Structure 1
């Protein structure tokens, strides 16, 4: 599948469309959307980045971003880059888009001086857990909004 990865803003209409779809998927899996506070400014370079993947007909089929995090009461450590809103539309799954997008997020976070990529997923997303494990992620201390939730899975990977 030939695709194009574009840098965009989190509040771009295509990004919001995919964000709405991922939120619907969270509702199906967990009963509620992700309540983590997010703002387009969190993904503004050089402190973050948001990417969209477009297929050959210009349809957005995947999204994901990272935002800089440093030591905080929420459990982050200095130099973290937090992955948010990794999502591939159902009809485009199984084509390696998530892996390709994740690699681009890691590369850009490392280039921005971030030392560790972290993410939070959940036990009801086993395919995401498999992707992250096969990409070198391992469990880390829980962080973020859902750090005390029993279904939360937090993972990290050094970027050096």
Structure 2
């Protein structure tokens, strides 16, 4: 298999991940006028409550994406406004990003497959995500991968007009 399409697990505080998070935040600034202020913590993307993936090539990391659960109590408190509207057992896709030089090569789809399989294997019933109208590429990826609009919207930006929330039910039996 193409090395570029083989996701590997990573940590949110990995220097390559931090660098890509800075890049995606700048993308949000260009498209929306400000960064995503959703709080993220390293432990949210560690098994069994979440997982983060990175793909790379000979020149380094080119894409990332992960999921985190929002189960009340696993951290001793609820998840605050970013979890508003989610169901028990939901997993949220966060920080999907592919560097411009790797776009159009199947990286995002490979990451999405890894996220879906790992969340299903962890017993998650559905994946949810929040993107925005100024990210038509993301909306196209998710729609073509079986995601549908989620109403009512969830999360920190649920009241924003530009916010688009989507959901996909996962097959948890037979996940691999």
1:47 counterpart residue number: 49
**What SS class does the counterpart of residue 84 from structure 1 fall into?**
strand
Larger proportion of strand: 1
2:68 counterpart residue number: 67
Moved over 2 A (4+): 70-73
Instruction: Count residues in correspondence.
Output: 159
| Residue segments in structure 2 that go unaligned for 5+ positions in a row | 73-77, 172-176
Match of 2:112 among 102, 110, 117: 102
TM-score, normalization: structure 1? 0.95
TM-score, normalization: structure 2? 0.87
**What SS class does the counterpart of residue 54 from structure 2 fall into?**
strand
Match of 1:25 among 27, 50, 53: 27
1:130 counterpart residue number: 140
| Residue segments in structure 1 that go unaligned for 5+ positions in a row | none
Describe how 1:77-156 pairs up with structure 2 within 5 A.
77-140=87-150, 141-156=152-167
8 A Cα contact 1:68 1:81, kept in partner: yes
8 A Cα contact 1:70 1:76, kept in partner: no
